[in-house]
Amino acid sequence: MTASLDLTPCPAPHWLPEQHSQTLFGACVAPANKLKFLRARYDTPDGDFIDLDWAVPGLPLPATHGQDVALSHTAAARWLTPAQKQQLTHHAHTPALLVFHGLEGSSQSRYAQAVASYFKAQGWIVVIAHFRGCSGFANRLARAYHSGDSAEMHFIFETVRQQVPGARWHAMGVSLGGNALLKYLGEYAAHATWLLAAAAVSAPLDLVAAGNHLSDNLFNREIYSRYFLHSLKPKVLEKARRYPGVIDVLRVSQARDLREFDHAYTAPMHGFKDALDYWTQSASKPWLKKITVPTLVLNARNDPFLPEHTLTGPNDCSDAITLHQPALGGHVGFVSGAWPGHLNWLPKRIASFFETVVPATF
């Protein structure tokens, strides 16, 4: 059996005519919501922490202050109180969505805000999981996060499941988070059977092709890679000050693209030989045939991060997967509507898929 293929278009506006305008407008300009979350911190087995931002219907933001001042630079308004954590356990049978952001994303990202606002309005619990160092706070260890860390994904899944064991859980991953989600669903297939459905948006399924394209293509290197490195490099150099001798500061400082950065830091810090080894071992494409959870894999054919000829075909996937490959949309852009546009198409597409494969979800 093979995956089904959907080529239904995303109605991209005429004033965003090509891949880069659709990508950049969606990420930086499109009107965005300002949804506020309740934040909880969970310690990892290796002594670090993960911050999860919760949006829960019927669970209002408390009026207390104090520690909340430290969250002013994030999309979280308050820390989740012990009493509220206890309330979470009462949401039996409530539909819930766990969202994994992209490279250097967070609950402030426009796509995260669009998805969380839509699903919360439909009565869902929404949780934005921050990878280490992406919640607005430096993580404790010299390591960070990477695109193929299935063990970390498993920890996050089990954490949210324990907090709301009776919920009807779904998952979504965007870009790097989408690749990590798909790899997890294939690699940990026996552990993921409690998930009702999943969606991966603009996931770089072939990480080697995506990494090379972002590093070798002049526009991609000077615009997209430079944007990511603007936050990645300072974070790692700050780690180097806390952990002297562990990180090659010179090579990180001189990194001009994602290949050089991954070669200098991501690969050696997380147990890979080099950037190519990291990309090869972390790609989700080899795991797609093992996925059993109903999963939407959405990739625009004009995604500037991933050349169209490298996109996954139905024969590369299990029959649990639906491939949706519209001609337009860019990389996590999917802007639609008249000027100044909106980001409603993406959450509605995901919701439509969930409703199709999980009847009575909405």
DSSP secondary structure string for all residues of 10-34: P---TTS-SHHHHHHHHHHTS----
pLDDT over 50 at 66, yes or no = no
- Summarize pLDDT for 271-303 with one digit per residue, the tens: 999 999 999 999 999 999 999 999 999 999 999
**Rounded to an integer, what is the distance from CA 348 to the centroid of its chain?**
17
DSSP 195: -
Strand-pair partners of 6: 324
pLDDT value at position 58?
Answer: 85
Distance CA 24, CA 276 (A): 27
Q: What residue type is 295 in one-letter code? A: T
- Summarize pLDDT for 204-241 with one digit per residue, the tens: 999 999 999 999 999 999 999 999 999 999 999 999 99
Q: Enter the tokens of residue 222.
A: 């000077």
In the three-class reduction of DSSP (H, G, I as helix; E, B as strand; rest coil), residue 361 is classed as coil
Looking at per-residue confidence, does 61 or 197 come out higher? 197
Distance CA 327, CA 339 (A): 21
Contact in structure between 57 and 124 (CB atoms under 8 Å): yes
Contact in structure between 185 and 112 (CB atoms under 8 Å): no
- Summarize pLDDT for 322-352 with one digit per residue, the tens: 999 999 999 999 999 999 999 999 999 999 9
Within the chain, what is the greatest distance between any pair of CA atoms? 56
Q: What residue type is 28 in one-letter code? A: C
Q: Is the pTM of this model over 0.85?
A: yes
Cβ–Cβ contacts within 10 Å for residue 355, how many? 13
Backbone angles phi, psi at 30, to 5 degrees: -55, 140
pLDDT value at position 60?
Answer: 75
CA-CA-CA-CA dihedral for 26, 327, 351, 159, to nearest 10: -70
Contact in structure between 357 and 51 (CB atoms under 8 Å): no
What are the Cα distances from residue 179, in Å, to 8, 120, 148, 248? 22, 24, 7, 27
- Residue 348: how many CA atoms within 13 Å on its side-chain side? 9
pLDDT value at position 63?
Answer: 56
Backbone angles phi, psi at 13, to 5 degrees: -70, 155
- Residue 170: how many CA atoms within 13 Å on its side-chain side? 28
- Summarize pLDDT for 232-245 with one digit per residue, the tens: 999 999 999 999 99
Give the torsion sign (CA, 341, 73, 269, 46): negative
Cβ burial, residue 171 (10 Å; 0-12/13-18/19+): buried
Q: Supply the angle between the helices 110-121 and 345-357 in degrees, to the nearest 10.
A: 50
Tokens 């669009």 label which residue? Answer: 114
pLDDT value at position 62?
Answer: 59
Q: Enter the tokens of residue 2.
A: 């093979």
Identify the band that residue 1 occupies on the pLDDT scale cut at 50, 70 and 90: low
Consecutive H or E run containing 184 = helix 176-187
CB-based contacts of 240, cutoff 8 Å, min separation 6? 246, 247, 249, 252
Cβ burial, residue 44 (10 Å; 0-12/13-18/19+): middle
Contact in structure between 186 and 291 (CB atoms under 8 Å): yes
Which domains, and CATH codes, for the chain?
4-205+289-357 (3.40.50.1820), 207-282 (no CATH)
